[in-house]
Structure 1
């Protein structure tokens, strides 16, 4: 039996797309030497598979893996279709670490570029399929994945500088490789197919080349599916046609996913022009009720600031900014929100008070009075989120919401952001909630552990309720 068909059987059984009996039936009719596409077509024709799109994806994956070698074990004999993965010589069986991700780490030098590229594609697809959020390939260390916040090596082999450079550049086009080697830092969006997209950061460190690959969800989730609190309040923020909405949180808190879900909701419910500025474009938004223009820093524009400046002349209704990271971008975002546009942006901050301080403190003292008045007038709300490890596995969203009202506006104008907590506590009826109270509720509901709860609260009286 050829390797391509063997791999398709392995992947199809693992995905529960068809059964072992179905595979035997096809092989009996078509012969054990059936080619990949003949085998796949018979699965469809005989009614064993109805999800043709998933079958096509697995077939492409099977072809990529077959370029490297046959699947470990025999998928038609293994009791568990995933069990054979653990026998990979360079994977977990070699060192007892990590999830079963089959990759020939011990044969990188022996593979030509085409075979190595196929193997890296298969590794990325497998990483996402097993629920990991990130894959790291770095010189001088073991390859590892991040799943539910925990880091896990996938092999005991330490990558050399030469191996890491090949792994992290084999999927790049020539112009991308040139940019990476010249700048020594490079961000890009990598699309293997319609369902497998990755946000990639490539860099160099003391040991050599390093790459971080963040998995992007195949579909755009709905707001209802994210686990956010007070959805009516969030939807009210999105109902405005002008003003500034901030989505904040630490790295890996799900800001990109929340932002994509918000844009998708606007796209479905309005008839507007939405312009997004991202670095890089991660989630592709196809036009529905809205016309969506997505621009990427680098290929489409020099900077967030230049894109925002141009956007004001491009008749937008909604402007989405991937990250508010410097004075010019923040100033332009506030200006756009004051001139009849709904502006949605993200920041790397931990709560509403920190967000406002970061937003305002980038301006020089001479501008403080003016900018505080502008922010007080234009800010619609702040949604700050964290992803916490759940007691039943997976991650749980903890979400703080601040909605601008007369009291909040007065605090911003007067520079008294220290009073935000008390004001937010009295604004529960308006849909506001404080991060520490949300963390406490999640703990009391048994959704997060005591240690996780204590790590995410600092106030003495809240900690006392946990301990």
Structure 2
């Protein structure tokens, strides 16, 4: 295992996939490729690693749930986020490399306005995107920025722990679901009794967690969390969809009150093949946005993003068009990744729009 991870890190790979009957695959610059000088993996090899590393309780959870997230650390290699699951009755593992050092926000290449959300005394900030879009890294960098610049009590709730934060100007406590807490919802409820200023929730997966996060933001805490959506509008849709229609009016009112910003990010391959670049759509919640959410007209928010440059809004389509004109990404990537491909073409053909 360590040899495979070392080869993956040597190639600057982000992920390693182990599945019985095939050679190990690593993802480099978004492309899957075989690990050099490797052989097909046997079921017993994966099983040996799983049974050697997981605790008795983790193995029981794996057998019950059929998949399990856990973290794996090796000196001189780093930390890794692992997901072990069943396929054809045998184990398979997906492993993601985590940088040992928490990257500074300024080095992520994301819009500076995102950092300003950490200055909010309370409210809800959503970092959204697909799996592998860099949400966890952005979240960790924002937590580190708060940790460095404010005297706060920060609580993180994660499954599993990804980045290890040290106490800086703030006190930071990190709770891992499964080890330090039963689940996100119970950990979040407990956090409200632990005098936090900032709460970072690794992911809002269910109605109970979302409801408690909204309450936490309402009661004077800054809540930073993630969702698997591709735009600000879809993030609001996702939250509403979890609740019954009878609850929508109440949830819309809560969201209109507590939501401070939504960042929907992606990692795109550069045109020259040298790596990936982060891009993001940014919704800064203004009084006009709050009114739209409260009235159930949040589908119109995308129009405000396009026209709200002075308020700090960042249009994904405008950003993609700029990167294509500069030769940073290809036209194909820009067109494919835009939420509105026609709007992307308009910005590309009329730079002054």
Task: Normalising by structure 1, report the TM-score.
Answer: 0.71
Once the two structures are superposed, residues 312-366 of structure 1 have per-residue CA deviations (whole angstroms, 9 ceiling, x without a partner) of: 1111110000001111100100000010100000001101010111112211112
Output aligned runs, 1:5-84, within 5 Å: none
Query: Does residue 184 of the first structure (1) align with residue 70 of the second (2)?
Result: no
Alpha-carbon distance in structure 2 between the residues aligned to 1:238 and 1:465: 30
Flag the 1:178–1:423 CA change in 2: closer, same or farther, 3 A: closer
Q: Which runs of 4+ in 1 moved over 6 A?
A: none
Residue 151 of structure 2 corresponds to residue 282 of structure 1: no
Higher Cα Rg, which structure: 1
Comparing 192-201 with 220-229, which one deviates more in the overlay?
A: 192-201
Match of 1:430 in 2: 311
Question: Aligned partners of 2:101, 2:78: CA distance in 1, in Å?
Answer: 10
Task: Tell me the equivalent position of 2:151.
Answer: 271
Q: Is the 8 A contact 1:249 1:350 kept in 2?
A: yes
Cα distance in 1 between the residues matched to 2:21 and 2:50: 14
**Does the Cα contact within 8 Å between 2:102 and 2:144 map onto a contact in 1?**
yes
Partner of 1:460: 342
- Which whole-Å CA distance do the structure 1 matches of 2:236 and 2:191 have between them? 24
* 2:323 pairs with one of 408, 418, 442: 442
Which digits, 9 at most, give the CA deviation of each residue in 1:136-192, with x for residues without a partner?
A: 111132210001110001257432322332344444456544554554322111111
The answer for the alignment partner of 1:343 in structure 2 is: 223
Q: Among residues 42, 47, 55, which one is paired with 1:165 in the alignment?
A: 47
Gaps of 5+ in 2: none
1:363-388 deviations in whole A, cap 9, x for unaligned? Answer: 11121111111110111101110000
Name the count of aligned residue pairs.
346
Contact 1:351 1:435 in 2 (8 A): no
SS in 2 for 1:162: helix
Tell me, in whole angstroms, the C-alpha distance in 2 between the residues paired with 1:203 and 1:277: 23
Matched, 1:196 2:78: yes
Structure 1 counterpart of 2:92: 210
Do residues 369 (structure 1) and 249 (structure 2) align?
Answer: yes
Residue of structure 1 in register with 2:103 after alignment? 221
- Any residues of structure 2 matched to 1:303-318 within 5 Å, and which? 303-318=183-198
| TM-score of the superposed pair, with normalisation by structure 2 | 0.93
Cα-Cα RMSD = 1.8
Give the whole-Å Cα distance in 2 for the aligned partners of 1:363 and 1:399: 27
Q: Deviations over 1:247-291 (max 9, x none)?
A: 111000000100110000000011110011000001000011111
Q: Which residue of 2 aligns with 1:138?
A: 19
Q: Which structure exhibits the higher relative contact order, with contacts defined as CA atoms closer than 8 Å and separated by 6 or more residues?
A: 2
Matches of 2:49 and 2:77 in 1, distance apart? 22
Larger strand proportion, structure 1 or 2?
A: 2
- CA pair 192-177 structure 1, distance change in 2 beyond 3 A: farther
